[in-house]
Each structure stands twice: as structure tokens, then as C-alpha cells.
Amino acid sequence: MKWQTIIISLVLILLPWSSIHAGTDHSLFIDETFNTGEDVTKLCIKCHRKEAEEILLTPHWRWKGPPRTIAGMENSKEEYGKINLLNNFCISIEGGVNSENMESCSKCHPSYGWKDRSFDFNDITKIDCLICHVRGLYYRKGNAGSPEFMVKGYDSLLLKKAAQNVGRPGRENCGACHFFGGGDDGIKHGDLDSTLTNPSREHDVHMGPPLNMVCQDCHRTKNHRIAGVSTFLATNDGRVRCEDCHEKPHRNGKNSELLNQHTKTVACQTCHIPYFAREMATKLYWDWSTVGLDIQPEEKFGRETYLKHKGSFRWGKNVIPTYAWYNGKTIRYIKGQKIEDPQKVVYISKPVGSIADEHSKIHPFKVHRGRQPMDSIYRYLLIPHLHNGLWKHYNWYKALVDGAKGSGLPFSGKFEFVSTAYYGSINHEVAPKEQALRCNDCHYGGNRLDWKALGYRGDPVKYGSRVIK
């Protein structure tokens, strides 16, 4: 349809630069009905093919990349990410004869039609432009990335309206996936949930008024590569640091020099995010071993503590973080890695650092703990078939047999459940400075930090600060 391309080009030429920068009104030149999300994308790439080609190269699309943050694997030729790493939430996307878990997991992927391993990551028409760019409308994704609307059935008029109302991403766009990681609102991250779509200043001083910052104000983006690092992941397109904007954060006051000295050892987040899950409870524990039992669950913070197809949960709200040294690298459990002692906690992800490491600072974390299946003979974590598998038949043996076919890990036929832990960095829900931690929270008898666990003799006020040689 060459005439559409000509009209769009003329409109872009005639519009002032300020209008383009603010966001072009696409309703001026989109007046057709779409039958599928792919039809919208086909129109988008008539003008934005270069941008679509950029998407195909990003970790957001490929769900893998160089493992820059895994200690000892920085030069690995293998790439890692959600596509081949394990966690202790839904464990892995690879389970199923043809990795059918992917159909459920891909609702948090900017694509259409990703059901199993047959998905073509080079097909530019499978990109879902709307999930990142639709503005002011309810737009969520279902299994295999199909658009879902707040109506029963499929309404192509709503898809047309979504295509007409696109612009630069807002918090609700990023949040469509990142608020709902782990299967539902606020479950995974602890410092990210849908209340950040429109938060108060007390909830998040950056995203609340008067600043009203959007995600990309910090997660700066170039060629659709979005900066940001998480201990949940292995790759990144650049780090986001508080110091990018706050080079000397404590400028005024009698203690400003002392506080600025703290920043050599203590991360900004440690004092300025005193609690996480401040508005919505987050999941702290997931026990897969109780799947299939007939349990009458109680609620905690208005959330379920048991689901027959998923197991048992524990929740937390206004949670004090776990504090640990962190130098920007993690140790990471890799698929097939042998577990030396099944009686000990298996760390899926854990920060690297120590009191003696000059590159380490004390950071806050959410630690998600759980119990998940391990092969009793091979002694590695197993990947179950969940979607249209365990979640329907509750048969662990069958789920693990079918899961092995997709994961490529042999299953001996014998399994048990082991305890796991997964460290997630806390960076959002930054409190106003009036609510930041005070000296007495950590020092002079304050018990916020476990000094001995961090490698000190005791409170540094009494025993002295760390010494880096």
C-alpha cells in the first residue's frame, strides 16, 4: 500500500520537530481495521523498519546475551538469559517436549506467536510494537503474546485504537512486563509493581510528583538497547547508577562530608530504600513440593498462600532488605551444574563482594527462597513442564519426564526437593530524604545491619571502618 507510506512521510515532513519529539499523533494517518497484532506491526515497519531491526538484536528480544555480570564467565562465548537460565519462581521457560512453557512465559516478551522452540526470532513482523508504545489504553498480553483487552472476545476496533494512540513509553508500558514478573503483580522484584504507574512522592521520590520520571530517564536507551543491570539476569546494555545524577548527593548540612564518605562503602539504595514492597506485598517463598495437595489456603495481605497447581507461598510487605557486599558481579547457577551438598541452600543467584574488595559496597536485596526439584542421581536442578503440564495434571514424575525433553537435561527418574535462594537487587521505591535511614538505625546500638556478618568486628563507630590495602 504505497499511498499510505507516501501520506505518512508527508505528514512527518509537515509536522514541526517539536511535535515529533513529543510524539506524533498517529491517528492522523491510521484509519484501517487490523485483524491481528502482526497486521499493526506490518504497518509500523513501513516507516520504522530500522527501529524494528534494532529490536531483533537486543536482550529484550533475544532473552540472552553475553554473561557480563556472572563472575568468571565474562568472556564466555555462550550467551545466557531468561531463555536458558533457571530461577526459583516458574523455574524455566524450556520445559515441555518442545519447550511449551514458552507459550505462557512469552506473555512478558515483546512478540506475537511465541509458543515453543519453533518461534522465528528473525521474523520482524512478530515484534509487538504496541506493548512498549501504546499510550493511555489498557493493553496487556496473554499466552504467546496475543493482545488481551478488557472485553470478552476479540475486538479489532480496540486494536485499531491502540495503533492510533502510540508514543514514547511510559511507566505503564515497561510495567506491563516488569511489574508482573513471576506470574502476577509485584511477585518477583519486590520494588516493582503496578502501584508505580501513578505513585505518590512518598512511595517513590523519582516517579512520584513533582518529578514524575519515566523509566527511560534512568534506563537510558540507544538503538532500543536499554541500560540496566539486575542480579536476576546475566547480561546488560550498560549500568544505571545513582551517581549518574547524584555525583555529590550530600551537599548541605553539618554531616554532609561524613555522609559522602559513606558512599565509598554504602550504596545509595541502602539508606534511601529502607523498605521494599511498600504498597503491595511481594512473594518471599515458593515451595513447589506441595503441588497437588488439597489444602485450604489462608490469605496474607490479601494474597493466596497456596495454589494447587503451584504450591505454597509466603508474602511480605514493608520488608527490610537483606544486606550484602556487591561489586557488580554475581555467582549464578547454570543449567546442569552439579549440586555438591543437597542439604545446603542452592544459590540461583548471589552477589559477589567482600569487605576487603575495594569495588564492593553494601547493597540491599530481596532474597526469594523456595523448594524446587533436583535429580537425585545426577544432582542438578530439574526443569518441569508446567504450562499445559503440571499445572493441569499435578503429576511431578510426568512433568519432569516431559520437561527433560525440552531442557535437554536427562532425568534419572528419581527426584527430591532442595532449598534454593535467589538474590534480587533493590533499586526502586526510593523514599524521600526525610524517610532515609538515620545514624542510629545502623550505629550506636541500631540493628539494621549485621556488622559481623558483613566482616566487621562490630559497629565501625566503635571498632573502626574497613581498611582496603
| pLDDT at site 303 | 95
The pLDDT tens digits of the residues spanning 389-399 come to 999 999 999 99
Tell me which of 144 and 321 has the higher pLDDT. 321
Q: What is the pTM of this model?
A: 0.91
| pLDDT at site 235 | 85
355 neighbors 395 (Cβ within 8 angstroms)? no
Q: Which residues lie closer than 8 Å to 205 by C-beta, 6 or more apart?
A: 211, 430, 431, 432, 433
| pLDDT at site 249 | 82
Tell me which of 236 and 323 has the higher pLDDT. 323
Q: What is the mean pLDDT of residues 261-266?
A: 92
| pLDDT at site 443 | 96
Banded model confidence at residue 236, pLDDT cuts 50, 70, 90: confident
Between CA 282 and CA 276 the distance in angstroms is: 9
| Confidence check: pLDDT of 98 > 90 | yes
| Confidence check: pLDDT of 150 > 70 | no
| Confidence check: pLDDT of 463 > 70 | yes
348 neighbors 337 (Cβ within 8 angstroms)? no
Concatenating the DSSP letter of every residue in 182-198 gives GGSTTSSSSS--GGGGS
Banded model confidence at residue 43, pLDDT cuts 50, 70, 90: very high
| pLDDT at site 53 | 97
Banded model confidence at residue 35, pLDDT cuts 50, 70, 90: confident
CB-based burial label for 390 (10 Å; 0-12, 13-18, 19+): buried
Between CA 462 and CA 467 the distance in angstroms is: 15
328 neighbors 314 (Cβ within 8 angstroms)? no
What is the average pLDDT value for the chain, to the nearest integer? Answer: 91
333 neighbors 349 (Cβ within 8 angstroms)? yes
Return the bridge partners of 367, or none. 423
| Rg of the chain (C-alpha set) | 24
Between CA 372 and CA 87 the distance in angstroms is: 10
Banded model confidence at residue 155, pLDDT cuts 50, 70, 90: low
| Confidence check: pLDDT of 267 > 50 | yes
Tell me which of 171 and 252 has the higher pLDDT. 171
Q: What is the mean pLDDT of residues 141-158?
A: 69
| Confidence check: pLDDT of 154 > 70 | no
| pLDDT at site 34 | 87
Q: Which residues lie closer than 8 Å to 137 by C-beta, 6 or more apart?
A: 158, 161, 162, 165
